[in-house]
Amino acid sequence: MARKAMEHKATLTPKFKVRQHNRCPICGRVHGYMRKFNMCRCCFRKLAREGKIPGIVKSSW
């Protein structure tokens, strides 16, 4: 329930702009957020492995 409340709170416009958090729209995670892809690192990795993000390929070096 606490996570749901925080997700809802993140959608509201804050009193001060500084209080705004970027949250992953898929899982609601705050840390490890990538602005370019609009998701957290965990969801990014999962979707990249499945090939659902165009232009991203697994590196092999």
User: What would the pLDDT profile of 14-39 be if each residue is shown by its tens digit?
Assistant: 889 888 888 888 888 889 999 999 99
Does the predicted model carry a pTM greater than 0.75?
Answer: no
Give the mean pLDDT of the chain: 87
CB 10 within 8 A of CB 4: no
Distance CA 40, CA 26 (A): 8
Q: 3-state class of 33 per DSSP?
A: strand
Residue ranges covered by each domain of the chain: 4-50
Q: State yes or no: 43 annotated in a binding site.
A: yes
Q: State yes or no: 42 annotated in a binding site.
A: no
Question: What CATH superfamily is the domain 4-50?
Answer: Ribosomal Protein S14/S29 (4.10.830.10)
